Structure 1
């Protein structure tokens, strides 16, 4: 067995790993989209002048899709298109802020855009069950609703892959957003699905694709409190 040591506090811990496990390459067995299929799907995304594309992930699949969207935008001659990554948006009191949400679930941008597109990668999440545009927006930009989502959890144990109350809070907060999303189902091998349009519908469709092709297993830690 290979000798591997990991730092644990002020000491080192030895790990015993079989060679077979090191040689195995673990990746989801999901059919991948061809470049032609990806381009055709992105060609159906509604675009316009004065548009904002906000990438909600730094993953390679999201970066690739943003670059391909930029190529489509350039080929169609749209102007005033801005591309940004995950960042803090102006606070509610900002005089320059433009609310693309509702009064009870505001989401403020720095200026008014004719079209706003969020790009994210759908995956599993321990609190919401799944991660995507609705949950990322809630986590980063809607602190009050994020607190409500956290308080709605049924237990302190992680619930990846489960349709749970925090997910309902996230979907409710995104229902009235005047924006669209491009949700990706992807792995390190490539992109398996692209779902665009309404934020909540695109997220649900991406979840359906993800759960139909993958599974998630959680090993809960076992502990006991012994008193004398």
Structure 2
């Protein structure tokens, strides 16, 4: 019996797998960037002395980047930046900021003049989530509908430069903003890209370390690999789209994600409340945040069964066409019951940072 540990909110959940049921294991093997190289990249970008730094989400790799920037400012006798972030991000981020660091909520209605730092991820709609796509989601308004209409079909497209991604680059090009796109793997921060959001080279860096060939299995048990990735269901679903290549048609995908922050998107909430039927998702008159996940869930259900280990009410899962599973310990039992005692289950503990093809 093998014990496999999954990130589950601030803690970990354990899954026991018999040797005869264990299929392939997949994880990112990106090397870790050393402190000197990180500091040099930030210095070369001229970031010492910037007035404000907008942090779009909180991950260990992002925290390390922020800490390195503060150290660089101290070395160059430059004033450290004020850190701006949304309330929920700021609450967790403050614990890792240097003593005396100035911080405030990110309330700017225009991204112009700001430096944005965030971790790059694979994304079903855009192909990649970078500072450019985050700016479009945050400030784009009706431009998000245009991006949604330019998606590559009705299946998720992580790791592909989609029409929606091109729309995001065009939107970001309107603003005089800068980005620090952080790339991370299982071992931590592996690289940074600094420059204008519309020119980001981070997707190529992410592809270089995060794309793996996969063999389809009768079942795949998928964890996100970090607490920030499974705080909400909408964030956790990215790991499912990334790892769908490990699931056979007619198979089973079990997502292990705490989702203590709830559903996480307006579209998922609307569906749970009885709105946004599948028929309304292909050519909508207006974009509702996260509606691509409903579209992709409908596509997934046609290909394989989706199950979820989380703290969400079972009713939520059922409304979304997802089978609720009572704890990570029960995940393997559910897989054996659904797919047979001889199944080989793929195990992915870091689904947010890899792409299986």
TM-score (norm 1): 0.71
- State the Cα distance separating 1:180 from its structure 2 match: 1.1
1:223 to 2:302 alignment: yes
1:145 to 121, 131, 143: 143
In structure 2, C-alpha distance between the alignment counterparts of 1:131 and 1:74, rounded to whole Å: 31
In structure 2, C-alpha distance between the alignment counterparts of 1:179 and 1:208, rounded to whole Å: 21
**What is aligned with 2:33?**
33
**What is aligned with 2:210?**
214
Whether the 8 Å CA contact 2:121–2:128 is kept in 1: the answer is: yes
In structure 1, C-alpha distance between the alignment counterparts of 2:118 and 2:65, rounded to whole Å: 10
- State the Cα distance separating 1:120 from its structure 2 match: 1.3
- State the Cα distance separating 1:222 from its structure 2 match: 6.0
Whether the 8 Å CA contact 1:128–1:164 is kept in 2: the answer is: yes
1:1-228 correspondence to structure 2 within 5 Å = 17-19=17-19, 26-47=26-47, 49=49, 51-79=51-79, 81-86=81-86, 90=107, 99-101=110-112, 116-201=114-199, 203=200, 205-215=201-211, 217-219=243-245, 221=300, 223=302
Cα distance change of structure 1 residues 100 and 214 upon mapping to structure 2, 3 Å threshold: closer
SS at match of 1:127: coil
Say which is worse superposed, 122-131 or 213-222, in terms of deviation. Answer: 213-222
- Work out which structure has the larger RCO, using CA pairs closer than 8 Å and 6 or more positions apart in sequence: 2
- State the Cα distance separating 1:139 from its structure 2 match: 1.2
- State the Cα distance separating 1:89 from its structure 2 match: 5.4
Whether the 8 Å CA contact 1:150–1:166 is kept in 2: the answer is: yes
Give a deviation string over 1:26-62, Cα, whole Å, max 9, x none.
4312232112211222221223656110111211100
- State the Cα distance separating 1:217 from its structure 2 match: 4.9
TM-score (norm 2): 0.47
Whether the 8 Å CA contact 1:133–1:199 is kept in 2: the answer is: yes
Give a deviation string over 1:141-187, Cα, whole Å, max 9, x none.
22221122112224221111111111011000111221211111112
Whether the 8 Å CA contact 1:89–1:141 is kept in 2: the answer is: no
Whether the 8 Å CA contact 1:54–1:86 is kept in 2: the answer is: no
Cα distance change of structure 1 residues 116 and 46 upon mapping to structure 2, 3 Å threshold: farther
| Alignment gaps of 5+ in structure 2 | 4-14, 88-104, 212-241, 250-299, 304-357
Cα distance change of structure 1 residues 48 and 34 upon mapping to structure 2, 3 Å threshold: closer
SS at match of 1:43: helix
Whether the 8 Å CA contact 1:128–1:166 is kept in 2: the answer is: yes
SS at match of 1:119: strand
Whether the 8 Å CA contact 2:123–2:159 is kept in 1: the answer is: yes
- State the Cα distance separating 1:16 from its structure 2 match: 8.2
Cα distance change of structure 1 residues 169 and 189 upon mapping to structure 2, 3 Å threshold: same
SS at match of 1:73: helix
SS at match of 2:44: coil
In structure 2, C-alpha distance between the alignment counterparts of 1:176 and 1:35, rounded to whole Å: 33
SS at match of 1:143: coil
